[in-house]
Amino acid sequence: MAVIRKRKGSYQVIIRKVGHQPLTKSFKLHSEAQRFAKAVEGKFVEDDYLLNLSAKNKYPNFRTCLERYRDEVSSTKRSKDMEAKLIRYILREGFVELRIDRVNQKVMADYRDRSLKSLGGASVNRRLAIISHMYSIAKKEWGYDVENPVRNIRKPKNPDPRDRQFTKEELEKLLRGNRASPHMKFIIELALETGMRRTEIANIKSEHIKGLMLNIPVAKTKPRTIPITKKAKQLLRDNLPIRMSSGAIHQAWVRLCKFYNIKDAHFHDLRGQSLRRFFTEKSLDVPSVMLISGHSEPRTLLKVYAKLRAEDVVNKLNPN
């Protein structure tokens, strides 16, 4: 950092440091030049130490901030359980011990690429969204002058919506086979009849039914009231209360599909099958199906509808 040059009748000290203007001073004696150089270098070291100490006191590490975000922000969301699970995964990463001002775009890009080796794009994007929102809250509400390291990195492409349709044989096994309990068969049939999500079904209570309307207080987006068919109402009357949690439904579903060798089938695919039926058998339009399904925006349903319309046109162009 310090250089001493011999000039005519003197010794010139030149000190350079990133972030500072170059400092030069001349002395008659070499020993005086050395003492000055050491003193200035020592001052720089002391200043750097104090600066780092100040930053350390000012900026907590990533772990502390994410745990605060979990307790103060995520806990108020309807998706708090899902977010808490994702936050647990994030907290296993090594970078969480860094100060939040030291987590930069490269750290986030590396995390993205590492995660994509074992996760899909949508799963990685959900984790990145949590981190991004945490940084927004840290800057806007917690008083930390930090840049959002997620904002300008490339995001993985979200996959197209699943379009897994069950065959008649598969539905026959699920609904009429002897492997599932009667209560699980009711839950599967209700999902097909209403298009409800697994968590929504698990939280239905008798007081939520008002005529042919069903109140859904626990929903992915927001509480809503949906119209139901007479068949759905009868299914609920005959089988309430729901005796399985959302997790238990998932586990039972996995066992059923494994037993019947039904490949690549998610419980959520029953919802997709139901939405298709609303368009094809019930002839409902997109806004009507949105009212039932609870989609916050029509993009997904428009894709389903457009595909069904294309199939309908093909059939009309090629009659039997």
Whole-number pLDDT of residue 106: 95
Residue 26 domain flag = yes
Least confident of 191-200, 221-230, 306-315: 306-315
Residue 154 · residue 141 · CB < 8 Å: no
Nearest-CA neighbor of 66 among 154, 123, 150? 150
210 and 110, same domain (yes or no)? no
Better-predicted residue by pLDDT, 161 or 164 = 164
Whole-number pLDDT of residue 49: 41
Judge whether residue 163 has pLDDT over 60: yes
Judge whether residue 117 has pLDDT over 90: yes
134 and 209, same domain (yes or no)? no
Average pLDDT over residues 149-176: 89
Residue that finishes a domain, picked among 42, 58, 74 = 58
Better-predicted residue by pLDDT, 309 or 243 = 243
* Domain limits for position 25: 2-58
H/E element, 257: helix 246-259
Better-predicted residue by pLDDT, 288 or 73 = 73
Whole-number pLDDT of residue 305: 62
50 and 84, same domain (yes or no)? no
Residue 285 domain flag = yes
Give the percent of the chain with pLDDT over 90. 51
Judge whether residue 51 has pLDDT over 50: no
Residues in the chain: 320
What is the domain count for the chain?
Answer: 3
Residue 108 domain flag = yes
Residue that finishes a domain, picked among 140, 158, 189 = 140
The rounded distance, in Å, linking the Cα atoms of 148 and 280 is 45
Nearest-CA neighbor of 99 among 153, 47, 58? 58
**CB burial of residue 286 (10 Å; 0-12, 13-18, 19+):** middle
Residue 232 domain flag = yes
Beta-bridged to residue 26, according to DSSP, are 12
The rounded distance, in Å, linking the Cα atoms of 64 and 60 is 6
Residue 147 domain flag = no
Whole-number pLDDT of residue 19: 54
14 and 92, same domain (yes or no)? no
Angle 167-171-175 from CA coordinates, rounded to 5°: 175
Residue 244, domain CATH: 1.10.443.10
How many other CB atoms are found less than 10 A from the CB of residue 220? 14
Average pLDDT over residues 300-315: 65
42 and 88, same domain (yes or no)? no
Judge whether residue 228 has pLDDT over 70: yes
Exposure class string for 179-189: b at 16+ Cβ within 10 A, else e: ebeeebbbbbb
Judge whether residue 274 has pLDDT over 80: yes
113 and 242, same domain (yes or no)? no
3-state DSSP assignment of residue 241: coil
Residue 70 domain flag = yes
Judge whether residue 141 has pLDDT over 80: yes
> Hey, what are 160's tokens?
């197209």
Give the percent of the chain with pLDDT over 70. 86
Whole-number pLDDT of residue 134: 97
Residue 227 domain flag = yes
The rounded distance, in Å, linking the Cα atoms of 155 and 238 is 47
Whole-number pLDDT of residue 24: 81
Whole-number pLDDT of residue 171: 94
Our measurement of the distance from residue 153's CA atom to the centroid of its chain's CA atoms, rounded to an integer in Å, reads: 16
Whole-number pLDDT of residue 311: 64
Residue 107 · residue 98 · CB < 8 Å: yes
Residue 11 · residue 30 · CB < 8 Å: yes
Whole-number pLDDT of residue 309: 62
How far is residue 267 from each of residues 47, 182, 199, 241, 289, measured CA to CA in Å?
Answer: 60, 17, 11, 20, 19
Whole-number pLDDT of residue 130: 97
180 and 307, same domain (yes or no)? yes
66 and 54, same domain (yes or no)? no
Beta-bridged to residue 15, according to DSSP, are 2, 23
180 and 312, same domain (yes or no)? yes
207 and 232, same domain (yes or no)? yes
101 and 208, same domain (yes or no)? no
Judge whether residue 46 has pLDDT over 60: no
Judge whether residue 36 has pLDDT over 70: yes
Residue 158 domain flag = no
Cis peptide before 149 (omega within 30 of 0): no
Mean pLDDT of the chain: 85
Judge whether residue 96 has pLDDT over 80: yes
Least confident of 205-209, 223-227, 291-295: 291-295
**CB burial of residue 42 (10 Å; 0-12, 13-18, 19+):** exposed
> Hey, what are 265's tokens?
């089938």
Q: Predicted confidence band at 148 (pLDDT cuts at 50, 70, 90)? A: very high
Judge whether residue 233 has pLDDT over 80: yes
Judge whether residue 271 has pLDDT over 80: yes
Residue 202 · residue 242 · CB < 8 Å: yes
State the pTM of this model.
0.59
12 and 96, same domain (yes or no)? no
